[in-house]
Amino acid sequence: MERLLLSGNEAIALGACHAGLKLAAAYPGTPSTEILEAIAKFPGIYAEWSSNEAVAVEVALGACYTGVRAMACMKHVGLNVAADAFMAASTTGVRGGLVIVAADDPGIHSSQNEQDSRNYARLGKVPCLEPSDSQEAYDFARSAFQLSEEFDTPVLLRPTTRVCHSKSVVMPSPKLELERTPQFSHEPGKLVMLPGAARERWRKVLERMEKLTIYAEKSPLNRAVEGSAELGIVASGIGFQYAREVFPNASFLKLGLTHPLPDKLIRDFAGRVKKVLVIEEVEDFIEQYLRSQGITALGKEIFPRTGEFSPDIIRDSAVKAGIIDNTPAKSWPAAGLARRPPLLCPGCPHSGVFFTLSSLGHRSTLPGKKPRPPKLTICGDIGCYTLGAYQPLGVIDTCGCMGAGISQAAGMAKAGAAEKPLAVIGDSTFMHSGINSLLNAVYNQAKICVLILDNGTTAMTGHQGHPGSGLAATRQPAARVIIEELVRGAGVRNASVVDAFDLKAVRAELRRAMASSELEVIIVRGDCPTLTRKRSRPRIINTEKCDNCGACLLIGCSAIKKSESDGIIIDSGACVGGYCALCQQVCPKEAISESIGEAV
C-alpha cells in the first residue's frame, strides 16, 4: 500500500478504521481532538462528539456489546470524567473490541494538570499500549482491537502530545473486512453487575491479567534493540525516540505494552547490560516496577519528574549525572517566531462581557487612575474564555476542572459569602458537565448568577460540535438543544438571553441579576469570529479626537495596540469591524468609527 505522512492522531484514526472500527465517540480535548475529526471522514463508521467523556465511553461500550468494534477518545483529564465508565467496561469485559484512547499532555501545553494515564490501566487491570511514532500509532490501534477481543477487555491506548501532533511516515496494512451484524444477546452474568455477578466478573478480570502477563513476555509490542552491553535503556513512547538520539550505541528494551510489564523479558535484558536507565515522561511507572522486582535501575533521580522530554533535556540530565560527557549544541527555535501570551481573538464575543465584569468588579482601571479594591467573586471554567483571567480583563478567580465553576460559586454562596458569586461557563462546557452543576444549584436553591457564554461551538479545540451547536461530527446539520429551554426545563425561573456585542444590554442585565436574591442565568450569545469569519469595514481611530485615555485597550482586543510613536492604533487586518465594534462603544470621546474603504 501507499506510504503516508500522518500525524499520530491521523494514524490512530486510520489504524482503527483498517481494524474494522464501526463506532467512535469522543469529547474534544488537546492533544486528542484530531482523532475523531479524522475518523468522521471515513465512510461506514458512525462518529459522534459526545457531551462528555463518560458518555463517550458508555456509547462505545454499548456498541461493543452488540459485537462490533468501537473506540472512545479523550485527553488525559477526560479519563477522570470517564473513570466510572472505564472501570465498568473493565469489569464486564467486551464483545466486540473496545479501545479507549487517553492522550496525555506532558508539559501541560493545553491542560489544567499533568497526569499519567498508565495508572488507570493499573487500576482497571487493562492492557496499556504506548506508541512512539505514527507507524506505531497505526499498528497499535489495530493491535489494540485484537487484544481487546482475545482477552475480553477494553484496551487503553496512551499517545502523548508529541506523538499525537508530529508527523512521520506510515506504511498501512490491508484493511480488515469484518462481516459483523450488530446484535445484542442477553447475558446478565456478564453485563448486569449486581454484586454476585460483579464478584464473579472480578475473578475473571484477575484471571485475564494473569493471561496478559504471560502474553506480554512474547508480545511483538515489546522488543529489544541490541547495542553496547555497557548501558541498557528501558523506554516507552516518545522517550524511546529521544533516548535513541542521545545514546546511539546503547542497548534498548523498547516497551510498547507497558501494562502489564514483561517480568522475564526485563530481567533478561537487565542481566545483559552493566547499567540500566529508565527513560519515561511524567511518572516513574516502569522504574517503580523494576525496583519492586529487585532490579537496580536509574531513572527519576536523573531525569525530570515533570514536563515534556526532549533530546536536550535527556542529554543535559545524563551529562549532569556523569553518564555521558559530550554536550553538543542545543537545538533552538527558529528565529523570528512571534512571542506573545494567549489572547482572546479580535471580535470575540467574550471580550464585551469580560470588559463589563472587569469594570463592574474594579478589576482594571484607566492608565494613571488609582486601582480600587476588587469587587465581585467570579468562578471560571475550562475553555477559551479562561483567557479572561489575563490582564487587562483579569476577571476569573477560580478554574479547576470541567463544569466546576457553577458548583464552586454555589459552595461559596452556601458558605455565606457576603457578595453573590458569579459563575462563567462556555456553551460546550455547560453541555459537558455544567448542566449537572446547574441542576444541583436549582435543587439546593443556590443564590448565584450563572453566565453561559454561548458562541455556538467548542472553540478552543477547533470548533467541534456539541448538543447546543446543531452540528454533527461529520459537519452535517444535527438536532440542536436550545440552551435557554434546557435551563428553564431544569427549573431555573430567571433566565435571559443578551447580545454579547451590546454592552449596554450586558451591563444592565448583569446589574439586575446581581441585585436579585434568586438564582439567575444569563446566556450571553455571540458568534465565534474564527468560525463565522464575518467581517465588515475595520474601525479606525480619529487622532484629533483621541486623547489616548486607554479605555479601548481595556477590552483586551489584540487588534488594538498602543504605539510609542503613533498612539493607539487599530490593526485593520485583524479588526472584524461592525460585527464587533466593542471599542466604538467604550470610547468616551467617540473617536472610533468605521473606515471609509471597501468592506474587507
State the binding site for [4Fe-4S] cluster: 546, 549, 552, 557, 575, 580, 583, 587
What is the C-alpha to C-alpha distance for residues 546 and 560, in angstroms, rounded to an integer?
A: 13
The helix (H) or strand (E) run that includes residue 167 is strand 167-170
Name the residue type at position 56: A
**What values do phi and psi take at 420, rounded to 5?**
-65, 120
What is the C-alpha to C-alpha distance for residues 36 and 102, in angstroms, rounded to an integer?
A: 13
| C-alpha neighbours within 13 Å on the C-beta side of residue 547 | 7
What is the C-alpha to C-alpha distance for residues 165 and 364, in angstroms, rounded to an integer?
A: 38
What is the C-alpha to C-alpha distance for residues 547 and 567, in angstroms, rounded to an integer?
A: 9
What is the C-alpha to C-alpha distance for residues 13 and 72, in angstroms, rounded to an integer?
A: 11
Spatial contact of 378 and 357, defined as CB atoms under 8 Å apart: yes
What is the C-alpha to C-alpha distance for residues 28 and 75, in angstroms, rounded to an integer?
A: 8
Q: Which residues contact 461 (CB under 8 A, 6 or more apart)?
A: 28, 29, 30, 33
Burial of 331 (0-12, 13-18, 19+ CB in 10 A): exposed
Spatial contact of 39 and 13, defined as CB atoms under 8 Å apart: yes
Positions at the binding site: 546, 549, 552, 557, 575, 580, 583, 587
Scored b (16 or more CB within 10 A) or e, 418-446 reads eebbbbbbbbbbbbbbbbebbeebbeeeb
Can you name the residues that pair with 32 across neighbouring β-strands?
none
Spatial contact of 581 and 535, defined as CB atoms under 8 Å apart: no
Can you name the residues that pair with 278 across neighbouring β-strands?
234
Spatial contact of 557 and 582, defined as CB atoms under 8 Å apart: yes
Cell 466510572 sits at which residue?
A: 84
Start-to-end CA distance of the chain, whole Å, equals 46
Spatial contact of 17 and 53, defined as CB atoms under 8 Å apart: no
Is residue 291 classed as helix, strand or coil in its secondary structure? helix
Question: Where would I find the H helices in 115-187?
Answer: 118-124, 134-151, 161-165
What is the C-alpha to C-alpha distance for residues 163 and 131, in angstroms, rounded to an integer?
A: 7
What is the C-alpha to C-alpha distance for residues 235 and 198, in angstroms, rounded to an integer?
A: 36
Packing angle between helix 263-271 and helix 195-218, nearest 10 degrees?
Answer: 30
What's the farthest any 2 CA atoms get from each other in the chain? 82
